[in-house]
Amino acid sequence: MRLILHVGYPKTGSTTLQEGLFSKHPEIAYLGKPFDPRFLRLERVILTASDAEFERSLPTMAKVTESRVRSLGRSLVLLSHEGFLRSTRNGGHDVLRTANRVRRVFAGPELGDALVGVIIVIRRQPDLFLSHFVQFVRGDQAELDRRVERLLDQPREGFPRTLFFDEVLGHYRKLFGDAVDVLLFEDLIEAPGTYIRRVCEILGIDAEVGAKLAIGRHDRRRRHDEGFYLVEARKTLTHRTGALLAGLGLKQVGRALKRGSPLRVALSPLQTAAIEEVFVESNRRTQERFGLPLAQHGYAS
């Protein structure tokens, strides 16, 4: 039996994989996201529990996991939760500590004979930072500028800390060995067919079936310009929020939001270059260690 964990990053096309491939391919026994009720407490314990609470809960959590996985009676079981690499989830958590907990719950003695693999998808840091800001912070340009300054002053704090890919990927490699596969979000945008088939290859499932299910589901797949992709994402977000507020009777506010003005934020070329400089050495190490064509996709390296 193989158990595959897709752990993030957030804002790297996770929904495309979750809704278009993982939950629909007939060869995959899909545990979530979204999780079924039996896994909701497990999620909370992994992400937010104190060390003492985690240790007390671990035996029960491991047994619940083992029971659920084995009850499926399938050769391939998959769990997807990009929140494991979103440090701002549930009030903030240490993603490396979370990785340790994921290892102990999903690759512990209760599942000793299972082959456990990990899939991680990364994305250029400025784009990931901006997209994360738009969805999870939803502030204006002044707030974005403040967040950029904070990133440059304290790059090892909060969400920016998770963008040192060599450390995060290296930690997962230390925990799970060669069973860690790293993909690039940019490939989903530029070559979705190749990307989906690569995911299917990693999972060991029929790639033609996977391609029919998933190719075309990512709503920005034809947008090769990342800046334009993000602008389109903001328009979609504000339009939906505006429609909701209009439906609640706040028509004037709703119309303003549907025009998208409150979230029309962007990184300047100088800000982008400054952010890239923070992560350039990390990207070089990531490229060397994992054999990823980061420079080819515009990563500062």
Q: Report residue 174's pLDDT band, with 50, 70 and 90 as the boundaries.
A: very high
Query: What does each C-alpha distance from 168 to 17, 18, 108, 114 come to in angstroms?
Result: 21, 22, 21, 24
The structural domains of the chain, with segments of one domain joined by +, span 2-125+157-221+280-294
Q: What is the mean pLDDT of residues 81-88?
A: 86
Please identify which residue in the block is written with the tokens 């209009």. Answer: 246
Q: What is the mean pLDDT of residues 66-74?
A: 86
pLDDT digits (tens, 9 = 90+) for 219-229: 544 444 444 33
Q: Indicate left, alpha or beta for 191 from its phi (over 0: left) and psi (-120 to 50: alpha).
A: beta
- Please state which of the ranges 17-26, 143-152, 242-251, 262-271 shows the lowest mean pLDDT: 242-251
> 120: which strand partners?
8, 182
Q: Which residues contact 179 (CB under 8 A, 6 or more apart)?
A: 115, 116, 117, 118
The CATH number of the structural domain formed by 2-125+157-221+280-294 is: 3.40.50.300
Predicted confidence at residue 235, as pLDDT, reads: 46
Q: Which has more confidence, 184 or 252?
A: 184
Predicted TM-score (pTM) of this structure: 0.84
Q: How many CB atoms lie under 10 A from the CB of residue 122?
A: 26
